[in-house]
């Protein structure tokens, strides 16, 4: 271990980073993530029952009404606003992701907006910088630790990147930032059983816990509370306990403050597990190219590796998911929806969508093919899907060119359309005029003297 813990290296970066330090692609990515995250959060406010329960709890707890809650007219203290908005951020599994499938922004952006409304007069440049540095810190850590399929990396590491972003918004100095990161270790938790298991709302709501912990950690540090000083590299630090000491410190810090990884983030076309997006694309390309309808198809055969097998087995249960999150994590269900509807939308995961007889019947045609070459060992593996037709043909498709992927990224036009569609699903949907206004505000966010105008426009 170096004499200086990683937390202090990151703290110096967070305290000194300025908007002028950001490359253009990091600025664009931060702004795109903000628009995307606000949209998917609004959609969740109107379509996910568990989000309503969270907002009810926040309301019941009262407190200073200083921060906005999306999809409502409610206002709450910073901690609870971060919790509520964070609970919406990943509820549809529609938020941005790294190439490895993990989700940095769903914890960062709700926390940042809560902190900004709490602090007041936070400029658009500061908000962009806080998001960009948090995205970069998350991806630096995530890409340089041992590969695991037991911890949920998004929550284990995401609380630290979100805390760093909040600390920047609050203007903490380097010592305060390192203390905040040490305090945040108490919120570093969560296992992939949230994904592997079934009949739970936690896979939808987890980002709210991280966002709340981030705001709490930074506010405590600002008040002088000290945190663990060797939180990452100590004998019982995060890198040793969570990753068995297998991490690359040099690569985590390489070109820190000059190269920002947020520009590699990807945006989703469909509200399902990131890996499932590639299988949906492969399936839709086949049915469109060959003009197939459900009755033409005998079998749908997705080739699945270690992680994607979890989305298929036990097969009978995955074909008939019990909850919306179970459905989003079920390859049989999402491919059946794609076959039946020619698309996959948020409405397919409502109570009525989960009991759609046509989709459930089509799910019986999904027959996974175990294939170890599709195992997840770094970036998400590419999909392969075979469709066997009733007239005896076997048609093969891949995830090449999936919208939002590295080789087919989403631009502002696609993201603006996605935002508008999502916003229309909000519990209190904004007007078309407001939607257009917010889209323009985000695209020119660096010009705003008070970035929280965005939240107030939507609530």
pLDDT in tens, 10-61: 999 999 999 999 999 999 999 999 999 999 999 999 999 999 999 999 999 9
- Give the three-state DSSP class for 447: helix
Q: Please report, in angstroms and rounded to a whole number, the separation of the first and last CA atoms in the chain.
A: 48
The answer to whether the beta carbons of residues 454 and 437 sit under 8 Å apart is no
CATH fit for domain 274-398, picks 3.30.390.10, 3.40.50.720, 3.30.1330.120, 3.50.50.60: 3.30.1330.120
Nearest to 83 by CA among 58, 112, 116, 59: 58
Q: Where in the chain is the domain with CATH 1.10.4100.10?
A: 6-267+419-458
CB-based burial, 8-20: b 16+ in 10 Å, e otherwise: bbbbbbbbebebe
Q: Where in the chain is the domain with CATH 3.30.1330.120?
A: 274-398
CA distances from 308 to 202, 331, 368, 456 (A): 20, 8, 9, 40
Report the CATH number of the 6-267+419-458 domain: 1.10.4100.10
CA neighbours within 13 Å on the CB side: how many for 213? 23
Q: Outline where 223-322 has alpha helix (H).
A: 238-243, 249-253, 274-289, 306-310, 315-319
The answer to whether the beta carbons of residues 303 and 375 sit under 8 Å apart is no
- If phi > 0 it is left, if psi is from -120 to 50 it is alpha, else beta; for residue 101 that is left
Q: What is the pLDDT of residues 237-286, one digit of tens each?
A: 999 999 999 999 999 999 999 999 999 999 999 999 999 999 999 999 99
Q: What is the pLDDT of residues 84-103, one digit of tens each?
A: 999 999 999 999 999 888 89
Residue 100 pLDDT:
83
The answer to whether the beta carbons of residues 25 and 65 sit under 8 Å apart is no
Residue 335 pLDDT:
98
CA 358, chain centre distance (Å): 30
Q: What is the pLDDT of residues 319-360, one digit of tens each?
A: 999 999 899 999 999 999 999 999 999 989 988 999 999 999
Structure tokens at 21: 């330090």
Structure tokens at 379: 């970036």
- Give the three-state DSSP class for 370: strand
Q: What is the dihedral of CA 441, 96, 106, 343, to 10 degrees?
A: 100
- DSSP state, 295? G
The answer to whether the beta carbons of residues 187 and 210 sit under 8 Å apart is yes
Nearest to 91 by CA among 74, 77, 103: 103
Residue 2 pLDDT:
55
pLDDT tier at 109, thresholds 50, 70, 90: very high
Angle made by CA atoms 359, 354, 275, in degrees to the nearest 5? 75
- Report the alpha-carbon distance of residue 98 to residue 101 in Å, rounded: 5
Does 433 score more than 90 pLDDT? yes
- Report the alpha-carbon distance of residue 211 to residue 163 in Å, rounded: 8
């Amino acid at each position: 271990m170096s004499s200086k813990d990683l937390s202090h290296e990151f703290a110096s970066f967070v305290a000194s980073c300025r908007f002028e330090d950001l490359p253009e692609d990091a600025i664009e990515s931060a702004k795109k993530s903000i628009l995307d995250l606000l949209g998917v959060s609004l959609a969740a406010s109107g379509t996910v029952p568990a989000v309503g329960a969270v907002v009810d709890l926040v309301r019941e707890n009262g407190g200073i009404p200083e921060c906005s809650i999306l999809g409502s007219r409610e206002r709450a203290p910073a901690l609870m606003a971060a919790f509520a908005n964070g609970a919406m951020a990943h509820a549809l599994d529609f938020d941005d992701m790294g190439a490895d499938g993990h989700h940095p922004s769903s914890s960062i952006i709700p926390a940042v907006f809560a902190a900004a409304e709490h602090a007041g007069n936070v400029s658009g440049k500061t908000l962009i910088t806080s998001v960009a540095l948090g995205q970069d810190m998350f991806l630096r850590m995530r890409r340089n630790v041992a590969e695991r399929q037991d911890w949920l990396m998004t929550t284990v590491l995401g609380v630290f990147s979100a805390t760093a972003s909040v600390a920047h918004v609050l203007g903490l100095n380097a010592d305060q930032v390192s203390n905040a990161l040490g305090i945040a270790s108490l919120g570093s938790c969560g296992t992939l059983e949230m994904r592997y298991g079934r009949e739970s709302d936690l896979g939808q709501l987890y980002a709210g816990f991280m966002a709340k912990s981030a705001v709490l950690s930074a506010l405590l540090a600002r008040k002088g509370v000290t945190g663990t000083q060797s939180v990452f590299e100590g004998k019982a630090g995060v890198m040793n306990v969570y990753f068995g000491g297998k991490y690359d410190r040099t690569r985590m810090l390489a070109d820190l403050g000059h190269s920002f990884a947020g520009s590699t983030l990807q945006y989703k076309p469909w509200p399902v597990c990131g890996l499932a997006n590639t299988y949906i694309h492969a399936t839709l390309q086949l049915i469109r190219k060959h003009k197939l309808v459900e009755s033409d198809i005998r079998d749908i055969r997705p080739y699945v590796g270690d992680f994607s097998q979890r989305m298929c087995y036990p097969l009978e249960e995955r074909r008939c998911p019990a909850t919306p999150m179970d459905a989003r994590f079920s390859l049989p269900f999402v491919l059946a929806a794609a076959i039946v509807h020619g698309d996959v939308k948020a409405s397919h995961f409502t109570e009525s969508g989960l009991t759609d007889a046509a989709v459930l019947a089509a799910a019986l045609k999904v027959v996974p093919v175990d294939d170890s070459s599709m195992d997840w060992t770094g970036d998400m593996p590419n999909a392969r899907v075979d469709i066997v037709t009733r007239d005896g043909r076997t048609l093969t498709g891949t995830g090449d060119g999936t919208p939002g992927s590295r080789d087919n990224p989403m631009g502002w036009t696609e993201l603006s359309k996605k935002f508008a569609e999502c916003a229309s699903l909000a519990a209190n949907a904004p007007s078309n005029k407001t939607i257009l206004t917010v889209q323009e505000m985000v695209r020119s966010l660096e010009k705003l003297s008070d970035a929280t105008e965005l939240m107030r426009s939507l609530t």
